[in-house]
Chains A and B, each alone.
Chain A
Amino acid sequence: MSDITSQSLFELTSNIKEKKLSSGEITKAFIDRAEKSKKLNIYVTDNFEKAIDQSKKFDSNPNFDLKLPGIPIAVKDLFCTNGVRTTAGSKILNNFVPTYESTVTQNLWSQGAILLGKLNCDEFAMGSSNETSFFGNVQNPVGENLVPGGSSGGSSAAVAANLTPVTIGTDTGGSIRQPASFTGTVGLKPTYGSCSRYGIVAFASSLDQAGPMTKNVRDCSMLLEVISSFDQKDSTSIDYKRNNYSKELSKDIKGKKIGIPKEYRVDNMPDEIEQLWKNGISYAKDCGAEIIDISLPHTNYALPTYYIVAPAEASSNLARYDGVKYGFRSPGQNLIEMYEKTRSEGFGDEVKRRIMIGTYVLSSGYYDAYYLKAQKVRQLIKKDFDDAFSKVDAILTPSTPSSAFKIGEKTNDPVSMYLNDIFTVPINLAGLPGISIPAGKDKNNYPLGLQVIGKPFDEQNILNISYALEDKINFKNDISDWWLSE
């Protein structure tokens, strides 16, 4: 049997069910490795003591019918966890201990999983490199001083470094798929309305979705099956019949029509990414899929649209952080001064920048020119996809325009940081499901990902296509454990 922490979720659940491993052994193995991996700065808050107790409790009375029997899992620190500090990577929530549980994490615990701890992320999920976190940047296990992507950077790094078997992140403009691509892991953003937003610290409510981040496609299907559910507590949760994603997982994609959008061939895209895309296309053909050239004419307008819609929603959502009911408070002579000082000291620069953008585009005299305009362009972007999906079953693109970059490389230029999400943002604007799978490496040996985009609620199809491609690509992440300490 291979080392416990390098096993997939599928292997771990099989080994538990066959009584080859106990929940206690598995939980201890992940905790031991985390203790030696502090250099990566992946955990904001650990739950190790309680996790050990819970694993012992599971072992004394195991229920092997559950989908995640005694499996320890760490989650992004954006999910509210009852009694366990939840910070959203922000000083303003540094001391916040929720008295309720997010629906998505509750779904994990209801299927037997055990909380290992809370993972670092960009502040309020605003960032593409995990550098906006109040708790400092995360190291990408792929290489020293490399960003792990963001905003779910602690999550992607934790999966790649074998600190959790699987995890869940959130994705507003690429925050699951881009870090997955940067770390050689798998990340799926489900259709808007699939996974409940209840108890997730809100960023941009019309775009936010939770999703699985895993070592491989099969694990991804297993985890999606657990977290995707209709929830009365989320007014935009959609009541539809979800698949048994892991049971229905199949490599048979013969006859599937896969679209290749010409607009995703952007200026200055490295040759390696062009080559990666070509390889993906030829693998899809080998699997019997039919390749069809398509056009998504408004692709170039997606990022500017996103940088109006997302900050506008964020500025409204973050109005609740006023130092009155919870979170950080800075004292003031009067109420207004208290608000202004609390928010000035409690939020980091990127969050303030986005609140300012959002406040501006919603302010009197600018609403029509910016916000309404963006909502109209969003309609055009959605229509591009509607048209494309009348001809194809799925769309294949690169996940990101580059591989992981160095820590500090893009922090002084917000626009160049935003360009990271050029291939992922349109999918959030259109509410579609998208998955990133590791597909190759660049000249530095850093991972690169391919993205498969599906029709609404067609997660099974993009999982199956990814499963077939994964088999052909046969990606191996060679991570040297350079950060381990004794």
Chain B
Amino acid sequence: MSIDLKTVKHISKLARISIDDEKANKLKGDLNNIFEFIEKLNELNTDNVQALTSIAETTLRFRKDEIKSENIREKILKNSPEENKDFFVVPKVVE
């Protein structure tokens, strides 16, 4: 199976990364090389194998439902690229 240019552009759209045609062509080559290498897994029959979903054999812990109120608004906004009082600012979404 090989990945064509249309698929590369579709993935880039899904990944929200804009790419020009030159980059897309380069990526097409790289991705095909990498997937050729990955296809090796098809040699294995895994019909009766259970997927490994967690390597740490523990169940997630519960914690007490406590209010830990700490005013961290300033901390959270400190690194924002553009701020306006207490909000993150983005380009206009609603016309």
Contact = CB atoms under 8 A, between A and B. Distances in A.
Given A328-B81, A344-B17, A304 B55 contact: no
Contacts of B76: 99, 325
B41 interface: yes
Nearest to B15: A359
A340 B56 contact: no
A225 to B, nearest CB: 21
Given A329-B82, A353-B31, A301 B44 contact: yes
A355 B90 CA distance: 24
A332 B39 CA distance: 38
Given A206-B55, A325-B80, A356 B17 contact: yes
B37 A307 contact: yes
Nearest to A298: B44
Q: Give the dominant DSSP class at B's interface.
A: loop
Q: Give the dominant DSSP class at A's interface.
A: helix
A414 B30 contact: yes
B40 interface: yes
Contacts of A337: 18, 91
Interface string A338-364: 111101100100001101110110010
A150 to B, nearest CB: 18
Given A100-B75, A236-B54, A414-B34, 10 more contacts: A301-B40, A301-B41, A304-B37, A323-B81, A325-B79, A326-B80, A335-B93, A338-B90, A343-B16, A356-B12
Given A307-B37, A325-B79, A360-B31, A332 B11 contact: no
A460 B79 CA distance: 41
A183 B44 CA distance: 37
A103 B31 CA distance: 36
A235 B58 CA distance: 10
Contacts of B42: 373
30 contacts: A99-B72, A206-B55, A235-B60, A235-B61, A236-B58, A304-B38, A304-B40, A307-B34, A322-B16, A324-B90, A325-B76, A326-B80, A327-B79, A328-B81, A329-B81, A331-B91, A335-B90, A338-B90, A338-B91, A340-B16, A343-B16, A343-B17, A344-B17, A352-B17, A356-B15, A360-B11, A370-B38, A373-B42, A376-B46, A430-B55
Interface stretch (A26-34, A166-174, A378-386): A378-386
Given A324-B90, A338-B90, A377 B44 contact: yes
